[in-house]
């Protein structure tokens, strides 16, 4: 999962990209980068860490030009090191090409072996680099034909923004796994992973880039092309974007994330009601499902845990040690609210179960009399190969334990998961979502080598 942004033909392009990355920071906290083009030269700045730490006024001023793209990284292919920071930039036939990618290709190994046999020399261990090598090998001279030829060779999940001199190219895979939207500011076009980035820029939301669509933007002109056969492909929007990853103020997959999460909570309450003094959430991602749950049952909604907002998301940290430490720092129960109470705790998901167990223990220590946990999605049973770094089946508690066994492991009085049917029933396009992480039904063939580090020994 990553955040991508592109701004075309604006005098403050790099500044706007910089600001938009603040709005997209939740999509990746490992590294950030911005690339700009001034009509003659390409400029790039990349750093590990958060946007606030990586850039300052001076570095933004050095990113000259009216067209720029940016990226915040959460690694799904390739390790967390500097050479894997995006945008990825090359020069081909004296023409600069930069790319920012959100998603995960499923034919990475196949493409890598083919390109290696053809003499390609790789600089990174990202699947994104493969796309640039394919562009370099194409014999097409027309920009539209050039990109169509390359994109049709890719399988899996990709939302892409390319910077080719002063032209932006945006593209989304035929299944539409990852979101990508189009906006306008001061008459100029913007591409972004989520509409919340447009809101921050006071940009007008125009529409979503459709699954299988490619847009070519130059100045105030935009051309839309669909990849061959893309309109006939079955859509597979990532349902976990709505459950957890996207910001609640974003509009993705033809729906508002906040409203979807409330509907998930209400449906959860219908399926798994409980008697309690109040409902509370595990902040922040559980907040909106908890609101829907409490409204459906007519129970009070209380704040039982305070979140420390000076620390990022625990789920997307690359090691278990960091996750454990950040969980302890991140959330603190309010004893006076919890003491002697029967509570319903609404959480967005349970991945390994270790975090939930420690949170339940902290609630017990704070004096909670009964703890009934409710999860606003089904049990996670299968890894994701389309852009979310879910663990292997062996690490997913939902794949290895029954719901009763999970209840006993995390030590709650009762546990209820939203059903798959119930989850999909609240989505506007219920038949168009990928739910492989819950059902094991993968809409696109999964890779042979199922590791994010499959290219690590090659470079």
Structural domains in the chain?
3-236 (3.60.20.10), 257-435 (3.40.50.2020)
To the query of whether residue 384 is one of the catalytic residues in this protein, the response is no
More confident residue, 459 or 207: 207
- Looking at 96-100, 159-163, 295-299, 387-391, which range is the least confident one? 387-391
**pLDDT, tens digit, for every residue of 307-322?**
887 665 544 455 656 6
**pLDDT, tens digit, for every residue of 42-89?**
999 999 999 999 999 999 999 999 999 999 998 655 456 789 999 999
At 456, the pLDDT band (50, 70, 90 cuts) reads low
Exposure string for 115-152, b = 16+ CB within 10 A, e = fewer? beeeebebebbbbbbbbbbbbeeeeeeeeeebbbbbbe
Exposure of 48 by Cβ count < 10 A (0-12 exposed, 13-18 middle, 19+ buried)? middle
Provide the strand spans (E) within 8-94: 31-37, 42-48, 67-73, 88-92
* pLDDT for 429: 81
pLDDT over 90 percentage in the chain: 84
At 277, the pLDDT band (50, 70, 90 cuts) reads very high
Residue 170 forms beta bridges with which residues?
161, 215
Distance in angstroms (rounded) separating the CA atoms of residues 79 and 91: 24
**pLDDT, tens digit, for every residue of 12-42?**
999 999 999 999 999 999 999 999 999 999 9
Q: Which candidate in 2, 181, 377, 384 is catalytic?
A: 2
Indicate if the pLDDT at residue 418 is higher than 70.
yes
- Looking at 11-15, 260-264, 352-356, which range is the least confident one? 352-356
Closest CA to 242 of 64, 72, 435: 435
* pLDDT for 450: 67
| Residue-by-residue DSSP string for 364-419 | HHTT-SEEEEEESSPPP-S--SSS-----TTT-HHHHS-HHHHHHHHT-SEEEEPP
The overall average pLDDT reported for the chain is 92
Residue 177 forms beta bridges with which residues?
none
- Pairing of the two strands 95-105 and 331-333: unpaired
| Residues making up the chain, counted from first to last | 459
Distance in angstroms (rounded) separating the CA atoms of residues 95 and 91: 5
């Amino acid at each position: 999962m990553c955040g991508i942004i592109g701004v075309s033909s604006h005098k403050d392009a790099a500044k706007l990209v910089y600001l938009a990355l603040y709005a997209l920071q939740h999509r990746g906290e490992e590294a950030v980068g911005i690339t700009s083009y001034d009509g003659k030269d390409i400029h790039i700045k990349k750093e590990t860490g958060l946007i606030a730490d990586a850039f300052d006024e001076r570095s933004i001023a050095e990113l000259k030009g009216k067209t720029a793209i940016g990226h915040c990284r959460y690694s799904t292919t390739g390790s967390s090191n500097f050479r894997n920071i995006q945008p990825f930039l090359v020069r081909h036939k004296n023409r600069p090409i930069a790319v920012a990618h959100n998603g995960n290709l499923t034919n990475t190994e196949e493409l890598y072996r083919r390109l290696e046999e053809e003499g390609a020399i790789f600089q990174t261990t990202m699947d994104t680099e493969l796309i640039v090598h394919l562009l370099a090998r194409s014999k097409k001279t027309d920009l539209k034909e050039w990109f169509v030829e390359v994109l049709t060779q890719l399988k899996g999940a990709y939302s892409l923004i390319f910077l080719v001199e002063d032209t932006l190219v945006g593209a989304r895979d035929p299944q539409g796994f990852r979101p990508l939207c189009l906006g306008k500011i001061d008459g100029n076009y913007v591409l972004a992973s989520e509409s919340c980035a447009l809101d921050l820029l006071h940009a007008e939301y125009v529409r979503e880039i459709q699954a299988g669509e490619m847009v070519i933007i130059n100045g105030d002109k935009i051309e839309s092309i669909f990849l061959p056969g893309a309109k006939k492909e079955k859509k597979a929007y990532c349902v976990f974007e709505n459950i957890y990853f996207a910001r609640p103020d974003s509009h993705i997959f033809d729906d508002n994330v906040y409203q979807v999460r409330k509907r998930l909570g209400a449906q959860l309450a219908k399926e798994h009601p409980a008697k309690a003094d109040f409902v509370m959430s595990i902040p922040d991602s559980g907040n909106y499902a908890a609101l829907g749950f409490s409204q459906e049952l007519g129970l009070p909604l209380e704040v039982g845990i305070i979140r420390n907002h000076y620390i990022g998301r625990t789920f997307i940290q690359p090691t278990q040690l960091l996750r454990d430490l950040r969980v302890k720092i991140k959330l603190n129960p309010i004893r006076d609210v919890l003491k002697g109470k029967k509570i319903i705790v609404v959480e967005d998901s349970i991945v390994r179960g270790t975090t939930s167990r420690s949170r339940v223990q902290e609630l017990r220590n704070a004096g909670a009399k009964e703890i009934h946990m409710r999860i606003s999605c089904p049990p996670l049973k299968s890894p994701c190969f389309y852009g979310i770094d879910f663990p292997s089946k062996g690490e997913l508690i939902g794949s290895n334990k029954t719901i009763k066994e999970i209840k006993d492991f995390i030590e709650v009085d009762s546990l209820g998961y939203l059903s798959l049917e119930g989850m999909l029933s609240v989505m506007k396009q219920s038949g168009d979502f990928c739910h492989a992480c819950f059902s094991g039904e993968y809409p696109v063939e999964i890779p042979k080598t199922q590791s994010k580090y499959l290219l690590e020994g090659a470079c």
